[in-house]
Amino acid sequence: MLLPTDNSSNIAISTAIESCKYHPYYLAGDTIWRIGSLLCVLLGMPGHIMIIFIMLNSRCRRQPVCLYFATIGFFELFYLIIVFWLWCASFSLVRDPRDVLTCGIYYSITVGSSNVSTLLLAAASIDRLLIIVYPSLYSTFVTRKKAILKIIVIILFVCILVVQYHFSYYFSYSYYMCEYYSYAHLWHGQIWPLIHLALLAFVPCLIICVCSCVILKNRYYRRPSTTSETTGTRHMRTASLLLVIYSIYYTLSVMPLSILQFFHPYFFNDNAMRQAPETNCAKFSQWKLLMKFCMLLMAINYSNKFFVHYLVSMQFRRYVWNIFKKVTFIPERNNKRSRSVEGSSGV
């Protein structure tokens, strides 16, 4: 559904936007997006399929933390599917997903998937903290049933929040992007970005970073008593340090897109552009460049989980190699060593 507008005005604006496509900022944004998003899809989608397959095997699915990561894999896979759809649309291979799905469904999938992923990672970080810091008590607070309940509650909570997009956004054929209706200007221009930044970005990322730092501190001051324990402790310290680095990186990749929403009225104002005789191509192109750069940051973040798991978790590496051996028909050696499930150190 589109707002009623003057047809001649739409034609003029459409022509102006078409001329902005040759602006250096616009071309730079398109180039960065087309190259980066394709790499994210090629690396991320197979990785998420592998993560889901491993986390739901007969052994891992008994671990509450693995259930979080399997669910995160599902939602981030949906996100990367939309990214691939946008990439195809940028080459005019298919229709734009915002036009096909409507902006409400499009934002529900993209924003909803990213929010669920962030909240689930925060919940997994809390459970992992309890497992490591309170090993004698964690079985009371960290169980499969409680993990499944948290996953369901988080998904329902995000679904309730993203319903608003169905009533606030429409697809603007003039600008070829989603815009919010005039009655939703105050909510989506000022109030919702603040709520989204605080509740769905800053607080979860803060929890992830704090939990990672506490785990690193706990393992750094753990004194080994035997040589074999020393080797394991070194690995745990390295894994914990990698988790802290990843937590900081995760925060820096998730926050920019939420912060950018505050500057939407400055860069791109639908009403002002309709009244202006000429479109400000510099501002419009800068907005498109920043938007695509922030979206690419999130796409990179949602495509590297496999590599993070592989670097941090020894058990995950063993599962990957076992799958590789089965696929390539390499005989397995009979030197399997039983180790405890590293749900506490895996991401």
Distance CA 134, CA 32 (A): 45
Residue-wise pLDDT for 34-85, tens only, equals 999 999 999 999 999 999 999 998 888 889 999 999 999 999 999 999 999 9
Q: What is the pTM of this model?
A: 0.84
- Which residues form the domain of 282? 22-318
CATH number at residue 95: 1.20.1070.10
Chain length of the chain: 347
Distance CA 208, CA 228 (A): 30
- Most confident residue range from 92-96, 188-192, 212-216: 212-216
Do the Cβ atoms of 267 and 284 come closer than 8 Å?
yes
Which token pair is 26?
């616009």
Q: Is residue 336 part of a domain?
A: no
Residue-wise pLDDT for 268-290, tens only, equals 655 555 555 455 777 878 888 89
Q: Is residue 328 part of a domain?
A: no
Q: Is residue 13 part of a domain?
A: no
Residue-wise pLDDT for 125-161, tens only, equals 999 999 988 888 777 888 999 999 999 999 999 999 9
Q: Which residues pair with 170 in a beta bridge?
A: 179
- What single-letter amino acid sits at 321? W
Do the Cβ atoms of 41 and 84 come closer than 8 Å?
yes
Q: Is residue 175 part of a domain?
A: yes
Q: How many Cα atoms occupy the beta-carbon half-sphere of 130 within 13 Å?
A: 14
Q: Which residues pair with 172 in a beta bridge?
A: 177
**Would you state the pLDDT for residue 338?**
41
Average pLDDT, the chain: 81
Among 208, 201, 205, CA closest to 125: 208
Q: Is residue 129 part of a domain?
A: yes
**Would you state the pLDDT for residue 5?**
36
Task: With a cut of 90, say whether residue 25 has pLDDT above it.
Answer: no
Q: Is residue 1 part of a domain?
A: no
Q: Is residue 189 part of a domain?
A: yes
Q: Is residue 346 part of a domain?
A: no
Q: Tell me the pLDDT band of 101, cut-offs 50, 70 and 90.
A: confident
Do the Cβ atoms of 69 and 319 come closer than 8 Å?
no
Q: Tell me the pLDDT band of 261, cut-offs 50, 70 and 90.
A: confident
Domains identified in the chain, total number: 1
